[in-house]
């Protein structure tokens, strides 16, 4: 397997584009994206667990009941959530895609992201959709345009793709994502769109996605807030012509590895581009008694506002790591805990057997001034491990969210 360019257009038979239609006030920023498969595709998705769900999620879930989709439309700048006519608008977006592309409206995934509680006007979408479709391309430019069109407070577009072999056939899998704030998944949050030319049944595609997000997107936290709108969707159109994956086995394992590689890469991009963030934080837990314990600890550490603040200030305040472990609810022996901080500048051990050890504050600060910081936690009591991703907490996070709506 190797990483390649192309994003959601890396897979055969997928075209994409993004334009500014007028939902967002800033005319420089794109706000409407479209991804289309040349043929109907197996489809699967996971959705936010927030009880308040955006209308697009309700419509998409209905459309994906048969495990088939052929297009994805997404707007940014307006979440189409908590609106009396939200479902009607979401359905209309799908119908407009059908009118221009010929894809059945029921085979369209619809998504929206942005401000909650503001009516979404279908007029600019209707006006610009023909141009959006006319500009669909199967190259990296189309994929990047779509990636640009789905972002909100993100500072960079997020896309990745891999090439791998299944049953002797060269296959591809790529994805784009948005998400900078309001990210604290439980099943899924943020918006992630994944495409692949692998031939796989909708049932196995769903199994792969639901299994992988437990150790990828469920392990990302920017600010502890779970969004109302966000989901992870994957389309597999089978154009690689491999023998269709309908059960577990070597081919399914290979597909899972490719999916995990793309998802981990997107997780790192999302965490590193958190609102106001200056650093990517990665907590790696090893030596735990069970996977569940490892995951709870890693997530608890990465969610700690106190630790996130310390990382912003390059302060090796390891006590905040132990504090987060202590309230995680995981079954751990605090007397065996070892903690280290690591970056491109080196590694500093700050805690052994649940107690502090002498270390150089100067060296620790140099390590923590880097853009990517690893928080290493070893329990020395088992074989289980887990990784979680987050970012530091800065002054700019408050500034961004203090005037996000206005």
Helices 86-101 and 55-63 cross at an angle (nearest 10°) of 50
Cα distance between residue 152 and residue 145, in whole Å? 14
Cα distance between residue 73 and residue 132, in whole Å? 10
Residues in the chain: 406
Contact 157, 174 (CB under 8 A): no
| DSSP state at residue 64 | G
Supply 331's token pair: 């079954």
Three-state DSSP state, 206 = helix
Owner of token pair 């280290």: 340
Terminal alpha carbon distance of the chain: 45
Contact 193, 175 (CB under 8 A): yes
Residue 315: its H or E element: none
Residue 363: how many other CB atoms lie within 10 Å: 14
Name the residue among 320, 314, 275, 274 with its Cα closest to residue 301. Answer: 320
Residue 53: how many other CB atoms lie within 10 Å: 20
Cα distance between residue 176 and residue 153, in whole Å? 15
Owner of token pair 């069109």: 149
Name the residue among 170, 139, 161, 164 with its Cα closest to residue 241. Answer: 170
Q: How far is CA 335 from CA 249, 287, 351, 356, in A?
A: 41, 13, 10, 11
184-193 core/surface letters (b: 16 or more CB in 10 A; e: else): bbebbbbbbb
Cα distance between residue 213 and residue 186, in whole Å? 9
Question: Does the annotation mark 106 as catalytic?
Answer: no
Contact 157, 147 (CB under 8 A): yes
Catalytic residue among 60, 189, 195, 394: 189
Q: Which residues are catalytic?
A: 189
């Amino acid at each position: 397997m190797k990483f390649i360019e192309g994003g959601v257009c890396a897979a055969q038979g997928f075209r994409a584009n993004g334009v500014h239609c007028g939902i967002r006030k800033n005319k420089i920023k794109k706000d409407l994206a479209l991804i289309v498969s040349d043929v109907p595709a197996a489809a699967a998705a996971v959705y936010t667990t927030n009880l308040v769900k955006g209308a697009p999620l309700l419509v998409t879930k209905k459309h994906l009941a048969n495990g088939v989709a052929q297009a994805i439309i997404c707007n940014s700048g307006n979440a189409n959530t908590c609106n009396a006519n939200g479902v009607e608008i979401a359905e209309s977006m799908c119908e407009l895609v059908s009118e221009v592309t010929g894809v059945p409206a029921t085979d369209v995934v619809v998504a929206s992201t942005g401000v909650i509680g503001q009516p979404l006007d279908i007029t600019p979408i209707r006006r610009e959709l023909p141009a959006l479709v006319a500009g669909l391309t199967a190259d990296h430019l189309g994929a990047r345009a779509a990636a640009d069109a789905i972002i909100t407070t993100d500072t960079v577009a997020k896309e990745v793709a891999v090439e791998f072999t299944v049953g002797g056939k060269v296959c591809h899998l790529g994805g784009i994502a948005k998400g900078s704030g309001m990210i604290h998944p439980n099943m899924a949050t943020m918006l992630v769109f994944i495409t692949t030319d692998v031939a796989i049944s909708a049932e196995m595609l769903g199994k792969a996605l639901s299994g992988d997000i437990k150790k990828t997107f469920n392990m990302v936290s920017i600010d502890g807030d779970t969004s109302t709108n966000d989901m992870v969707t994957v389309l597999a159109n089978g154009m690689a012509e491999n023998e269709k994956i309908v059960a577990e086995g070597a081919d399914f394992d290979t597909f899972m590895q490719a999916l995990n590689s793309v998802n981990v890469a997107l997780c790192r991009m999302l965490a590193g581009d958190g609102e106001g963030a200056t650093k990517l934080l990665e907590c790696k837990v090893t030596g735990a008694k069970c996977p569940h314990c490892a995951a709870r600890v890693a997530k608890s550490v990465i969610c700690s506002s106190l630790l996130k603040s310390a990382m912003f200030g390059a302060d090796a305040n390891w006590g905040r790591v132990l504090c987060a472990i202590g309230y995680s609810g995981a079954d751990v022996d605090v007397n065996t805990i070892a903690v280290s901080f690591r970056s491109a500048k080196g590694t500093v051990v700050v805690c052994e057997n649940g107690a502090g050890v002498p270390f150089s504050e100067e060296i620790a600060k140099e390590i923590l001034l880097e853009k990517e910081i690893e928080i290493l936690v070893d329990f020395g009591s088992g074989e289980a491990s887990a990784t979680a991703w987050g970012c530091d907490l800065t002054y700019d996070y408050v500034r961004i969210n203090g005037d996000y709506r206005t």
